[in-house]
Amino acid sequence: MNFEQLSNAASSVSSLSDFIVSHISEIHELSRASYQEIESHNDSLERFILFKSPILRQLDYRNKDIRVFVLLLLDLCERLDLEGAAKQLSNIIETHEIPLNSRQVAGLISILNRTDATSYIKNLPQICALLQRAINEEDDNDTQALITFLTFYANSVDILHLEKLHELQNDILSLRTKYDFLNKHADIIEAPINDTSAAYELIHNRIDTLQNDRPKPIITATTSDFLIEQDTTYSNWLQSQKCSFDLIRQYAVTNATQQQLLGRGVDIIQDEQLLYNYLRSYGPMHKAKIESAFQLNFPQSFESKVDIIDWGCGQGVASMLFIEKYGAESINSITLIEPSVLAIKRAALHCHQMCPNANIITINKLLDDLDRNDFKHLYNNITIHLFSNILDIQDYSVGRLLNLMDSIKVEKEYYVCVSPYIDEIRSNRIEHFINHFTSSPNFLVYHDTINTKTNEFWECNNTFRTKRNCHGEFRNCNGSFEPCWNRWTRILKVFKA
C-alpha cells in the first residue's frame, strides 16, 4: 500500500473510509518501516494530507480504525518533518477530540511550536517531561518515546543554524540527570554535529534500529526440543511443594531485588533474577486480568479435554491460572510459546508440576518465526488460545499471525485475549486481530471491555490486595474523578470462533 493508492481511494468520504478499514493492517506495517522506506513516500504523503484534508475532516471519527489512521499519519509526519501536514492533522485531532497520550503530545509540540529558534529550543524541557511520563506511566517500554525524541533531535539538526544547534545539544546534555531516557543513547547526543548531514544520517540510522531491531532468543528450539527447568535450587524447591500460582509468586516476592525490569516486563528476560522481579511487580495485575477473562459468560466447563496454546507464555501464568480454574484433568496438552529460554523452561516446570499428565510442548521462538510445522502435535477438537500481554506489542505482524492461526484451526476454538491499555494505536492492533474472526459462523463474544487510566475504574494493587472497594484510601491512590495513575488498565477480549 502507498499514498498514491490512498489518494485514489479518497474520491469520496465513503470510499476513503472503506479503504482505511480494509487496509488498516498495512498502514500499521508502514508505520514500522525504515526512514529510507517512508522517505520515498514523503511527497505523496504530504500531498494526500494537504489536498485531501476536506475529505479527511469529514471521516467518521467514532470509528477506531479512522482515529488510529490519523494518529499513524501524524507519527509519519513527525518522522518526515512535514510541518504543514502535521498542522492539518492536529486540527482534525482537536476538532474531533481524539485523545493523545503524552508521547503524541510531545511529538506535536516538537513539530508545531516553531515561531523562532529560541522558542523552539525552549520546548525541550516540556518535551522531555512528557516523554518521561510516557515511559513511566503509559508505555510498556521506552522505544516509542526514544523514537519521538530522536526524531525531534534529527529535525533540529535539519532546521537549526549550527550555533542554535550547539545550544540545543548543551541543553539536552544538562537534562540527562533529570530524564533517564536521555542516557539510553548518550553516544548520539554527545556526537559532534559540525557536519549536520552526517549527524542527521546517524540519528535516523539509530531510529531505524529502534524501530525494527527485534530482540532475539538466546537459542531457537524446535518442537522436538523439550525445554524444562531442572536440577536448580528453584526446581528442587518447587518439586517438594503443592504447586499454585500464589505460592510461586510469594517465593518470587521473597527472592526479588530492586533490579530494574527491561521494558517494564516486556523485553526478553535473560536473567533469572528478573523472573522473580516480574512476578513481584506484575503478578497480581496479570492474575486479575486472567481471572476476569474466565468469569461468566465464558464457559465454566468443557465437554472434553482441551489443548492450550499459550502465546508468549512468559513463566506460564495464564496456563497456571487456567489449570487452577478448570483442573488438570480437563487438559490434554499445553503448548508454550516464548522467546526467553529462561522463562519457557520455568513455564514448563510450572505446568508440569500443576498438570503432570498433560503433554507439554515448548516452542522457543518469536511470533513472526512460527510456522505450521510447529503445531503438528495438535489433534484435539477444542483449543484454548491464551494471549496474555502479547497482542498489543509491536514487534510482530498481525497479518502473518492470523494466517498461521487459520492454518491450525480446529473444530472449536476459544480465544482469551488480555492486555494492558497503552494507547489507541496499540489497542487497534488487538481489534484488528479479533475482527478477523467475526465472520466465523461460530463467533460469540463472552467479554469485551477496555479500562484505561481515565475511564471506568477496574482494579489497582490496593483493591486487589484487600479484596474490597478501597480505592482512594492509600497514599498515591487517588480515588477522585481525576486520573489515578496507579490504577490498572485492561483490554479484555474473550470470544469463540
Tell me the torsion sign for CA atoms 292, 296, 300, 306: negative
Question: Does residue 462 contact residue 470 with C-beta atoms inside 8 Å?
Answer: yes
Question: Does residue 139 contact residue 93 with C-beta atoms inside 8 Å?
Answer: no
Phi, psi of 493 (to 5 degrees): -130, 110
* Residue 186, all three cell numbers: 548518550
Gap between the Cα atoms of 375 and 477, Å rounded: 45
pLDDT tens over the chain, length 497 residues: 677 888 889 999 999 999 999 988 888 887 777 788 888 888 999 999 999 999 999 999 999 999 999 999 999 999 899 999 999 999 999 999 999 999 999 999 999 988 899 999 999 999 999 999 998 878 877 888 999 999 999 999 999 999 999 999 999 999 999 999 999 889 999 998 989 999 999 999 999 888 766 555 555 444 457 999 999 999 999 999 999 999 999 999 999 997 766 554 456 777 889 999 999 989 999 999 999 999 999 999 999 999 999 999 999 999 999 999 999 999 999 999 999 999 999 999 999 999 999 999 999 999 999 999 999 888 778 999 999 999 988 778 898 999 999 999 998 999 999 999 988 888 999 998 999 999 999 999 999 999 988 888 898 888 888 877 766 666 666 655 455 667 899 999 999 99
Give how far Cα 281 sits from Cα of 56, 97, 136, 261, 287, Å.
43, 34, 14, 9, 12
Tell me the torsion sign for CA atoms 34, 35, 36, 37: positive
Gap between the Cα atoms of 468 and 201, Å rounded: 55
Give how far Cα 378 sits from Cα of 383, 405, 439, Å.
9, 12, 24
Query: Residue 94: how many CB atoms within 10 A of its CB?
Result: 11
Tell me the torsion sign for CA atoms 394, 396, 398, 401: negative
DSSP letters for 194-257:
SSHHHHHHHHHHHHHHHHH-----S----TTS-----SSHHHHHHTTS---HHHHHHHHHHH--
**In what helix (H) or strand (E) does residue 48 lie, and over which residues does it extend?**
helix 42-51
Phi, psi of 255 (to 5 degrees): -105, 5
CB neighbour class for 354 (10 Å; exposed up to 12, middle 13-18, buried from 19): buried
Domain map of the chain by residue range? 3-212, 233-496
Give which of 464, 438, 428, 435 is closest to 249, Cα–Cα. Answer: 464
pTM to 2 decimal places: 0.83
Grid cell 508468549 in the structure block, residue: 312
Superfamily of domain covering 233-496: Vaccinia Virus protein VP39 (3.40.50.150)
